[in-house]
Amino acid sequence: MNDEPLPLEPAPILPTEPKESIEVIDTTKRERQPDVLVSVQGLDMVFDSKQVLFDVGFEVNRGEIFGFIGPNGAGKTTTIRILSTLLIPTRGDLWLDGVHVIEQPEIIRRRIGYMPDYVGVYPGLTVREYLEFFAGAYRLRGKQRDALLSDVIELTDLGKLVETEVQVLSKGMRQRLCLAQTLIHDPDLLILDEPASGLDPRARIEFRALLKELRRMGKTILLSSHILTELSPICDSVGIIEQGRLIRYGEVADILSQLRGDRVWYEVTLVTAQEGILSHLRSHPAIDEVKLDDSVLRFSYGGAEEDLHTVFAILAREKVSFTSVRREEGDLESIFMSLTQGEVS
Ligand SMILES: Nc1ncnc2c1ncn2[C@@H]1O[C@H](COP(=O)(O)OP(=O)(O)OP(=O)(O)O)[C@@H](O)[C@H]1O
Ligand SMILES: [Mg+2]
């Protein structure tokens, strides 16, 4: 018998790499893209088995004003609350300057200023005390605190009201106070949920001017509204959300021309109604429809703006005098309304 121990089987050489290489993604960090501050990808949100967001994704560039537009119940506040670290989505990823919003909310909270759609103020405090309270919450102290407070008070034009109790402020001034509060820790990104709702026309215009000033100072702003034409004059890009889905997204000029289509309506007020002009205008290759209502002539034009004079050449040739010409901007809102139907079912 051979008592010699059996030679040990050489240990199998374990493959150092799995056969199929698996890409390991670190979701907490992301390569910083120089122009992009906010990146939202594939957001789904389900509340009690009801899905209210479907694969929502967009990017906000550094230093721009991004408008998030949609009707009641579309999912604006839900998306905004997720981005502000107040809700965790059912699925999806969000980054602020390469930092993952869900994984590192405490870093995100220092870098954003969030103004909710309904802002209550603590009564019994003056404007100054109110802002000092929030400065304290961000652990701002001493000279740094005083400098930030006075900058914010000056910017929001609250100087004359610092000793006024917050509960007696008008809606417009209260809105400014809330904006001041979101600015107190000098955040990179402002997230404002319907900041202009309830403001009168003058306060809206002043509020818009303030947002433009903040953009000039280098802030990035994401704000929401129901009304496209309210945001389009100040936004660089917009996302239109309807029933939890982002149905349009891009630069404002591109979105507006997509919504308008190729045709723009013009309204010309004639000195006297002249039926005969209709057939002449209809023969113009870029004119689609022509209507005459009393002395108001309306036509839809699909040509280049530079060639618009060819239409007015017809009016001149037919000796039709007019007192005003207006490009119909209001139509945009109705196209937008037909695009967005209403609440999530
Ligand atoms: N906590 C919640 N639990 C259950 N459903 C919710 C919750 N929050 C929001 N929803 C639902 O999610 C949908 C989107 O609501 P959201 O508030 O995001 O819309 P919105 O676009 O901000 O609307 P509005 O213009 O009215 O502010 C709605 O159907 C709403 O009822
Ligand atoms: Mg809302």
Cα–Cα distance for residue pair 158/112, rounded to 1 Å: 22
Beta bridge partners of 40: 58, 94
Whether ligand 1 lies within 6 angstroms of the CB of 70 is answered as yes
Among residues 338, 333, 345, 335, which one has the least CA distance to residue 244? 345
Domain edges within the chain: 36-258, 262-337
> Per-residue pLDDT tens for 153-191?
999 999 999 999 999 998 888 889 999 999 999 999 999
- Angle separating helix axes 201-216 and 142-155, nearest 10 degrees: 130
Whether ligand 1 lies within 6 angstroms of the CB of 72 is answered as yes
Looking from the CA of residue 48, the nearest atom of ligand 1 is: 4
Supply the pLDDT for residue 20.
Answer: 44
Whether ligand 1 lies within 6 angstroms of the CB of 243 is answered as no
Does residue 329 surpass a pLDDT of 50? yes
Q: Best substitution site from 43, 44, 47 to test ligand 1's pocket, by max atoms within 8 Å of Cβ?
A: 47
Cα–Cα distance for residue pair 174/121, rounded to 1 Å: 8
CATH 3.20.20.370 holds for 262-337 = no
Cα–Cα distance for residue pair 258/263, rounded to 1 Å: 10
Does residue 32 surpass a pLDDT of 80? no
Supply the pLDDT for residue 29.
Answer: 54
Report the nearest-CA residue for atom 12 of ligand 1. 52
Whether ligand 1 lies within 6 angstroms of the CB of 76 is answered as yes
Ligand nearest to the Cα of 73, by number: 1
Does residue 227 surpass a pLDDT of 70? yes
Q: What is the residue type of 234?
A: I
Does residue 5 surpass a pLDDT of 50? no
Poorest-pLDDT segment among 32-46, 140-154, 172-186, 253-267: 253-267
Supply the pLDDT for residue 74.
Answer: 95
Report the mean per-residue pLDDT for the chain. Answer: 86
What fold is seen in the domain 36-258? Rossmann fold (3.40.50)
Q: What is the 3-state secondary structure (H, E, C) of 106-173?
A: HHHHHHEEEECCCCCCCCCCEHHHHHHHHHHHCCCCHHHHHHHHHHHHHHCCCHHHCCCEHHHCCHHH
Report the nearest-CA residue for atom 7 of ligand 1. 47
> What is the whole-number distance in angstroms between the Cα of residue 75 and the centre of ligand 2?
7
> Per-residue pLDDT tens for 46-91?
999 999 999 999 999 999 999 999 999 999 999 999 999 999 999 9
Task: Give the residue, 37 or 12, on which the prediction is more confident.
Answer: 37
> Per-residue pLDDT tens for 284-316?
999 988 999 999 999 989 888 899 999 999 999
**pLDDT band (50, 70, 90) for residue 335:** low
What are the strands of the beta sheet with 287-293, ordered from one edge?
A: 287-293, 296-301, 264-270, 322-327
What share of the chain in percent tops pLDDT 70?
86
